Amino acid sequence: MTAPKLALTEGDLSSITADAVVVGTLQGPDGLALAPGAEAVDAAFDGTLVETLRTLGASGKDGELVKVPTFGKLATPVVLAAGLGKEAGEEQVRRASGVAARALGGKKKAVTTLASVHLGAAVEGTLLGAYGFTEYKSDKGDGPVAKVDLHAPVSKEARATVKASTAIAESVIIARDFINTPPNDLYPGSFADRAAKLATDAGLDVEVLDEKQLRKKGYGGILGVGGGSARQPRLVRIAYKGAKATKKVALIGKGITFDTGGISIKPAAGMDEMSSDMSGAAAIVATMVLAAKLKYPLEIIATVPMAENMPSGDAYRPGDVLTMYGGKTVEVLNTDAEGRLILADAIVRAGEDNPDYLIETSTLTGAQVVSLGKRTAGVMGSDSFRDRVAALGRAVGESAWAMPLPEELRADLDSRLADLANVTGHRWGGMLAAGIFLREFIADGVEWAHIDVAGPAYHSGGAYGYTAKGGTGVPVRTIAAVLADIAANG
């Protein structure tokens, strides 16, 4: 899908020719109010725009969109009033811009005054709201609006904001495209090839290990999980080093391209959504492309394990003991707890690079959805870094909540045969137990965070804000914010 072209403009709104002009509305203390930036549009209506919108039932609530014909008062035929809710904050602008962009599908040009409220959020919301995945449809539909003028003061800083926010949105779209690609086309080999091409085109160093190399190097977790599929596993390593890099960051993402549950097979209902079980890997690959674009003064190395979890005569079984990369042994009690096994191998390999920080993300546990719902990620890890990641995620509009790693759950991962088991054997604290399992493989002295996005990575309902049905690209923007914060503050 082609994305809208964006351009800054500070021209007279009354004379800008477009198919629509977007303004923001608020739920003010005295009722409906216009957001900043809409003054010229209101003046064209002789100060009656609010009254007109009220007549049409507008309230300014989040997600609302009301259309008003201009009757020649402006060079645009219609005003789109996008509700911000009770405040014109960054996330509110992002959501309202997404709603407006979706409504503008098929149009040639629009101009948005939301850019004057928060420029970066308007850019991200517009590009992400316009997103659609039509690769497999015969009828591609109207497509997104072709061009959007961002009505805001033009300056060097503004241009830099547009460039950076566009890069972030484009990386989210890369992740969404990966997630939305069906598993007959996106499997470990093809995923690795696509990731390698993206990274190479971005000027990054890439290494791809196939099943023979994985076996030679002892990646028992990845081989165990991927052994049941005719499509054998891969491990992708992508490296970036910015100028004057002062910190090293390891990034890891779970790349299960389809998850049947293996021998511990899942119920049929909803299994089609398990094509999104590689959302963590998609986010990490996309973030590496973003790092190359934004040129963070960091060294960043991604380690991305990819496998398909299938039942067959070659599949690993409950009761098997796997020897992980690095030598630890794990008793498999449930083959549907496969993500932590491939991640353990990747975490140990990443630790050999001696990073200062390690960020891992995965659609790891159904327990995350039970605990926090479909839109809030659970963040575990080193206390201070965990809190930092969760706070930065919330700041960019990707809801995240810090979760503990209770020590009493560690004993429940003890195995009668191996160093540890891959599940506790009970349902209590499943998200936390998975975090504790991963902690067993973290190198000493590394500040780390695990972001469980089992719910937030995939949206199965109707579109809202800047989020379409399907892959969301969460947590690309969170990780980008964390990298920027590390670059600025260490």
Give the CA diameter of the chain. 79
Q: Which of 199, 197, 226, 196 is nearest to 211 (CA)?
A: 226
Q: Is residue 1 a contact partner of residue 132, using CB atoms and an 8 Å limit?
A: yes
Q: Is residue 26 a contact partner of residue 35, using CB atoms and an 8 Å limit?
A: yes
Under DSSP, is residue 398 helix (H, G, I), strand (E, B) or coil? coil
Single-letter amino acid, residue 8: L
DSSP-derived letter for residue 272 is G
Cα dist from 180 to 105, 127, 460, whole Å: 20, 17, 12
Respond yes or no on whether the N-terminal peptide bond of residue 475 is cis (omega within 30° of 0).
yes
Q: For residues 426 and 136, what is the distance between their CA atoms, to the nearest angstrom?
A: 41
Single-letter amino acid, residue 26: L
Q: Give catalytic residues, as residue numbers.
A: 266, 340
Q: Which of 316, 304, 223 is nearest to 261 (CA)?
A: 316
Cα dist from 79 to 19, 27, 43, 134, 369, whole Å: 9, 18, 13, 28, 39
In the sheet that holds 329-331, the strands lie side by side as 321-323, 329-331, 420-421
Backbone angles phi and psi of 8, in degrees to 5: -75, 140
Give bridge partners of residue 154 from the DSSP assignment.
none
